[in-house]
Amino acid sequence: MMWFPPAALSLILLLLGQAPPSRLQSLRTIKLRLVGPESKPEEGRLEVLYQGQWGTVCDDNFALQEAMVACRQLGFETALTWAHSAKYGQGEGPIWLDNVRCVGTESSLDQCGSNGWGVSDCSHSEDIGVVCQPQRQHGSLSQRVSNALGPQVRRLEEVRLKPILASAKRQIPVTEGAVEVKYEGHWRQVCDQGWTMNNSRVVCGMLGFPNQQPVNSDYYRKVWNSKMKDPKSRLKSLTKKNSFWIHRVICLGTESHMASCQVQVSPARGKLQPACPEGMHAVVNCVAGPRFRPPKAKPRQKDPWAEQEPKVRLRSGAQVGEGRVEVLMHRQWGTVCDHKWDLVSASIVCRQLGFGSAREALSGAQLGQGLGPIHLSEVRCRGYERTLSDCRALEGSQNGCQHENDAAVRCNIPNMGFQNQVRLAGGRNPKEGVVEVQVEVNGIQRWGAVCSDHWGLTEAMVACQQLGLGFASHAIKDTWYWQGTPGAGDVVLSGVHCSGTELALQQCQRHGPVHCSHGAGRFSAGVSCIDSAPDLVMNAQLVQETAYLEDRPLSLLYCAHEENCLSKSADLMDWPYGYRRLLRFSSQIFNLGRADFRPKTGRHSWIWHQCHMHYHSIEVFTHYDLLTLNGSKVAEGHKASFCLEDTNCPTGLQRRYACANFGEQGVTVGCWDTYRHDIDCQWVDITDVGPGDYIFQVILNPKNEVAESDFSNNMMQCRCKYDGHRIWLHNCHTGDSYRANAELSLEQEQRLRNNLI
């Protein structure tokens, strides 16, 4: 074994591109932090403190090894994954690092290669985020900034209602009971002295309820007094132990969390003054929103949601009660700009939709970009408004807002207990596996498998939402390689058919008696869940502007005929004489989601198309149809399959996918795939169609084979007038951009509706 003196060893290490040990120890380590959701301290936007200023890191070339270094520096054991394209929102200030290149063994991010401090061609739409393994290294401290509530929330993180009446104990969700807060691992009570309906409003909002109603305080006082007289009662013993932690609460009613209220902590044990003199525990009665209300339950007071359909909605959320905020104005849906967007305004949206107060007011299109108009900006709510339209706001066009500034919310929702009735087993990670559900079988609650007959992506989406794991990337019908939980192998749920709006698989349509043609075992249903998903949207205006007719000679259509891109009547023609009349148009498909759109199948199953001279990765990507005004199909596109690529990307984003040279296929977040009007099969053969009024319809991802955060905007429709020689397309729009009665007006009262895909 050769020996080198220290000076020579340092020189060798430098020549090899590595710093000697003495230099590594002397480096001034930079500081990192994560900016993200309060509930998940292990993930968020990665920020770096350099020269006294916090800045972000660009996602160019950033991969798992760089994330591992960052997570270890933050005190976590390792990294699970990384997230590009500002998934956790756009940061502010400088972009300190770009093209970071780590080996994976570095102890600090500044030991990795990069362009240099502050040298970057990126925008904040490319801010990198990381997801670390939750386990922390021994002795490490959290470097964390929340984009939700302040640090005082941690003292009052959990609040619950403890039901007292027998009827309240049987309810799901629990809407009435004594207010309890968790402090130092123990549930403590809140004194009712000075308790107001404003306090109740804040507590109900935290628990996922939009409103509150008065309680029968006289009855609760009688119950309290009777239990206090019983020396064996639990309440008596708790009172002696000074179980009251909060002596007095003063809320305005506009707060999103009780931690934002004025809170007076009760005196410590041993003090002379009592914790709650002549008082009892505070009792609250909340009103559940329509989605969480028992079927026959009716609130005591007027139901604000029964009057009319809300003029606000959430889109592209991974969970119930979250999404991009869209409002209905001038008969058209549009988004809200995030300028001055805060928890107060977000809570108005949540309560208007029947949820509780807002947990997070998200900016920077963190839940995907919308399309169409930006209706509102600088929304300023006081906190008491019934609807968002009651708040003061500017028109979105007044201050230069773009869709990358779309506002979003995450609302508090009631605890329905559904998450405890489903689980995954046997997967390689916590987000995949065999789906096991708990249902009642012959009066007994049993765990078992779900039959994979008719199991699809919609059902898998409901399962992942119920589990709190985001979107479904795959609905798996063959799970022989995953071992389920012992004793839970029998099928207890079959014939599951979900619409996608259910809160749990148990709410979907299903068989009465279980009937599964394949039995259990290898044919049990499984899922793979993901945090974010793409969102495809067609450029309707481009279709309208580029549509035209072409009488194309048969001599130029041999290749298209081989690929079945013509109507059946073409088979009967005297080739190569004659022509086919084609409705041609360009289509431009944007990915406005938070993840790249990738084909369902791998390279091994891609199909080579000689006519197009490249591989096609997806069999059915879009449907092109010509319909009568009553919805009957008279002609359709016959494009056999598709190649997916980034035709173009906005400034600052790099193209990642290309069809040429057997390249990787997909559509990057923020980019678009364009099919020009002059390529083969980019048409509808209307040779056999007579003059008249029609509807031209395009449906993206028609079989829902690839996960998306929002399927409702996958359809585009145009009114179409054909006189036998010329054709006009007008009123082209995505399927959910107008309200129902506006759509009826557009279609001249022909009872045509936008079907949600």
Please check the confidence at residue 236 and state whether its pLDDT lies above 90. Answer: no
Considering the four listed CATH numbers 1.10.10.10, 3.40.50.12780, 3.20.20.210, 3.10.250.10, the one that applies to the domain covering 24-145 is 3.10.250.10
Pairing of strands 244-250, 186-190: parallel
What are the structure tokens assigned to 248, written together?
A: 């007095």
Q: What is the pLDDT of residue 242?
A: 53
350 or 736: which carries more pLDDT confidence? 350
CATH code, 152-287:
3.10.250.10
pLDDT tens readout for residues 168-218: 888 899 999 999 987 767 788 888 888 999 999 999 999 999 999 999 888
Within 358-420, residue ranges assigned H as helices are none
Closest by CA position to 217, among listed 190, 195, 246: 195
DSSP 218: H
The model's pTM is 0.74
Please report where in the chains the tokens 């690839």 appear, as a residue.
Answer: 706
Query: Please, which residues have CB within 8 angstroms of residue 701's CB and are 6 or more apart in sequence?
Result: 536, 621, 622, 708, 711, 714, 757
Q: What percent of the chain has pLDDT over 70?
A: 83
Closest by CA position to 547, among listed 729, 352, 749: 729
Between helix 343-352 and helix 197-206 the angle, nearest 10°, is: 80
Gap between the Cα atoms of 372 and 378, Å rounded? 18
Using DSSP's 3-state secondary structure scheme, residue 187 falls into strand
pLDDT band at residue 343 under the 50/70/90 scheme: very high
> Lowest mean pLDDT: which of 183-197, 574-588, 664-678?
183-197
> Lowest mean pLDDT: which of 83-87, 142-146, 308-312, 720-724?
142-146
Cβ-contact 253, 204 below 8 angstroms: no
Phi, psi of 466 (to 5 degrees): -60, -35
Domain 312-411 has CATH 3.10.250.10: yes
Q: What is the pLDDT of residue 141?
A: 44
Q: State the CATH class of domain 418-530.
A: alpha beta
Q: What is the pLDDT of residue 298?
A: 54
Mean pLDDT score, 48-62: 89
Name the segment(s) of the chain with CATH classification 3.10.250.10.
24-145, 152-287, 312-411, 418-530
186 or 746: which carries more pLDDT confidence? 186
pLDDT band at residue 21 under the 50/70/90 scheme: very low
pLDDT band at residue 438 under the 50/70/90 scheme: very high
Mean pLDDT score, 276-287: 87
**Region for 375 from its dihedrals, namely left if φ exceeds 0, alpha if ψ lies in -120 to 50, beta otherwise:** alpha
Please report where in the chains the tokens 């399962």 appear, as a residue.
Answer: 463
Closest by CA position to 498, among listed 473, 462, 465, 467: 462
**Region for 162 from its dihedrals, namely left if φ exceeds 0, alpha if ψ lies in -120 to 50, beta otherwise:** beta
